[in-house]
Structure 1
Amino acid sequence: MIKNFKWLLFASLSIALVGCSDDDTEDGVGEVPISAGTADFSKYVALGDSFAAGFSDNALFKKGQENGYPNLLAQQFMLVGGGEFTLPLMNDNVGGLLFGGNPNPSFGPRVYLQGFLNPTTPIIVPIPESSTTDVFQHLTGTFSNLGVPGAKSFHLIAPGYGNPAGLATSPASANPYFVRMASSVSTSVLADALAQNPTFFSLWIGGNDVLGYATNGGVPTSQDPISGNDITPPATFEFAYNQLITQLTAGGRKGVVANLPYINTLPFFTTVPYNPVPLDEATATQLNTQLLGPVKQILTALGEGDRIATLTAGSANPLLIRDESLVNYATQITGALMAGGVSQAQAGLMGSLYGQARHTKKLANGSFTDFVLLTSRAVIGTPQAGVPAPFNTVGVTYPMEDKRILTGTEVAEIKVATDAYNVTIKNAADANGLALVDTYGIMNQLLNGGVRYGNIHISASFITGGAFSLDGIHPSPRGYAYIANKFLEAIEEAYGSSIPELNIGNYTVQYGQTIN
Structure 2
Amino acid sequence: MKNNITFLIFSALALVACEPEFDKSVDDAGFYSAGEADFSNYIALGNSLTAGYADDALYLQGQENSYPNIMAMQFAHAGGGDFVQPLVDDNTGGLLAGGTKIAEPRMILAFEGENPSPVILDREPTTDITNHIGEPVNNMGVPGAKIYHLVAEGYGNISGVGTTANPYFVRFASSAETSVIADAAAQDPTFFSLWIGNNDILSYATSGGVGEDRTGNTNLQEYGSNDITDPNVFAAVYKQMLDALTANGAKGAVANIPDVTSIPFFTTVPYAPVPLGEAEAAQLNQGYAEYNQGVMLLAGFGLVSQEEAERRQISFQTGQNPVVIIDEDLTPLSNPRTGEEIPSLRQTTPEDLIVLRASSFIGTTVGDDPQQVNGVSVPLDDQWVLTPEEQELVSNAQTQYNATIKALAGEYELAFIDAQAMMQQVADGGIPFDGGVLTSVYATGKAFSLDGVHPTAKGYAMVANAFIDAINDRYQATVPGINPGAYPDVFVK
Q: Same fold (TM over 0.5)?
A: yes
2:211 and 2:224 in contact (8 A); partners too: no
Q: Distance in 2 between matches of 1:322 and 1:412?
A: 18
2:20 and 2:482 in contact (8 A); partners too: no
Q: Distance in 2 between matches of 1:389 and 1:129?
A: 34
Aligned partner of 1:26 among 4, 17, 21: 21
Q: Distance in 2 between matches of 1:97 and 1:359?
A: 39
Q: Which residue of 2 aligns with 1:310?
A: 315
Q: Which residue of 1 aligns with 2:200?
A: 209
1:349-401 CA-to-partner distances (Å, cap 9, x unmatched) read xx75x620000012xxxxxx211111111121223359x773x2211122101
Change beyond 3 A, Cα 1:485–1:226: farther
- What amino acid is aligned across from residue 378 of structure 1 in structure 2? S
1:297 and 1:305 in contact (8 A); partners too: no
Change beyond 3 A, Cα 1:313–1:73: same
Q: Distance in 1 between matches of 2:440 and 2:409?
A: 27
Aligned pair 1:356/2:338, yes or no?
no
- What amino acid is aligned across from residue 254 of structure 1 in structure 2? K
Q: Distance in 1 between matches of 2:475 and 2:359?
A: 46
Aligned pair 1:114/2:93, yes or no?
no
1:390-434 CA-to-partner distances (Å, cap 9, x unmatched) read 3x2211122101111111111111111111110110111010110
1:39 and 1:497 in contact (8 A); partners too: yes
Q: Distance in 2 between matches of 1:407 and 1:122?
A: 29
Superposition deviation, residue 512 in structure 1 = 4.0
Superposition deviation, residue 310 in structure 1 = 3.2
Aligned partner of 2:290 among 291, 294, 297: 294
2:60 and 2:87 in contact (8 A); partners too: yes
Q: Which residue of 2 aligns with 1:78?
A: 76
Change beyond 3 A, Cα 1:88–1:277: same
3-state SS of paired residue (2:373): coil
Aligned pair 1:276/2:273, yes or no?
yes
Superposition deviation, residue 277 in structure 1 = 0.7
Aligned pair 1:489/2:469, yes or no?
yes
Q: Which residue of 1 aligns with 2:453?
A: 473
Superposition deviation, residue 454 in structure 1 = 3.4
Aligned pair 1:238/2:235, yes or no?
yes
Q: Distance in 2 between matches of 1:192 and 1:274?
A: 45
Q: Distance in 1 between matches of 2:258 and 2:222?
A: 22
3-state SS of paired residue (2:111): strand
3-state SS of paired residue (2:461): helix
3-state SS of paired residue (2:258): coil
Q: Distance in 1 between matches of 2:468 and 2:69?
A: 13
Q: Which residue of 1 aligns with 2:355?
A: 373
Change beyond 3 A, Cα 1:186–1:473: same
Q: Distance in 2 between matches of 1:51 and 1:29?
A: 30
2:42 and 2:83 in contact (8 A); partners too: yes
Q: Distance in 2 between matches of 1:68 and 1:61?
A: 11
Aligned partner of 1:132 among 122, 126, 131: 126
1:246-275 CA-to-partner distances (Å, cap 9, x unmatched) read 111223321000000111211111100111
Q: Which residue of 1 aligns with 2:478?
A: 498
Superposition deviation, residue 465 in structure 1 = 0.3
Instruction: Count residues in correspondence.
Output: 475
Superposition deviation, residue 25 in structure 1 = 4.5
Aligned pair 1:426/2:421, yes or no?
no
Q: Which runs of 5+ in 1 are unaligned?
A: 336-347, 363-368
Q: Distance in 2 between matches of 1:466 and 1:318?
A: 28
- What amino acid is aligned across from residue 264 of structure 1 in structure 2? T
Q: Taking structure 1 as the reference length, what is the TM-score of the superposition? A: 0.87
Q: Distance in 2 between matches of 1:84 and 1:117?
A: 46
3-state SS of paired residue (1:34): coil
Q: Distance in 2 between matches of 1:64 and 1:19?
A: 15
2:195 and 2:254 in contact (8 A); partners too: yes
Aligned pair 1:167/2:161, yes or no?
yes
Q: Distance in 2 between matches of 1:261 and 1:358?
A: 29
Q: Distance in 2 between matches of 1:433 and 1:225?
A: 34
1:121-167 CA-to-partner distances (Å, cap 9, x unmatched) read 43211222111111111110110000000011011111111111212
Q: Which residue of 2 aligns with 1:198?
A: 189
1:151 and 1:225 in contact (8 A); partners too: no
Aligned pair 1:14/2:8, yes or no?
no
Change beyond 3 A, Cα 1:28–1:471: farther
Q: Distance in 2 between matches of 1:483 and 1:493?
A: 16
Displacement over 3 Å in runs of 4+: 27-33, 221-227
Q: Which residue of 2 aligns with 1:366?
A: none
Q: Which residue of 2 aligns with 1:340?
A: none
1:43-72 CA-to-partner distances (Å, cap 9, x unmatched) read 100000000000011100111111000000
1:28 and 1:501 in contact (8 A); partners too: no
Q: Distance in 2 between matches of 1:241 and 1:500?
A: 29
3-state SS of paired residue (2:365): coil
- What amino acid is aligned across from residue 212 of structure 1 in structure 2? S
Compare 77-86 and 122-131 and name the one that shifted more.
Answer: 122-131
3-state SS of paired residue (1:74): helix
Q: Distance in 2 between matches of 1:505 and 1:209?
A: 31
3-state SS of paired residue (1:125): strand
Compare 159-168 and 258-267 and name the one that shifted more.
Answer: 159-168
Q: Which residue of 2 aligns with 1:338?
A: none
Query: What is the alpha-carbon root mean square deviation over aligned residues?
Result: 2.3
Superposition deviation, residue 331 in structure 1 = 1.9
- What amino acid is aligned across from residue 462 of structure 1 in structure 2? Y
Q: Taking structure 2 as the reference length, what is the TM-score of the superposition? A: 0.91
Aligned partner of 1:156 among 141, 150, 154: 150
Q: Which runs of 5+ in 2 are unaligned?
A: 215-219, 300-305
Change beyond 3 A, Cα 1:73–1:25: closer
3-state SS of paired residue (1:63): helix
Aligned pair 1:402/2:371, yes or no?
no
1:95 and 1:110 in contact (8 A); partners too: yes
Superposition deviation, residue 93 in structure 1 = 1.1
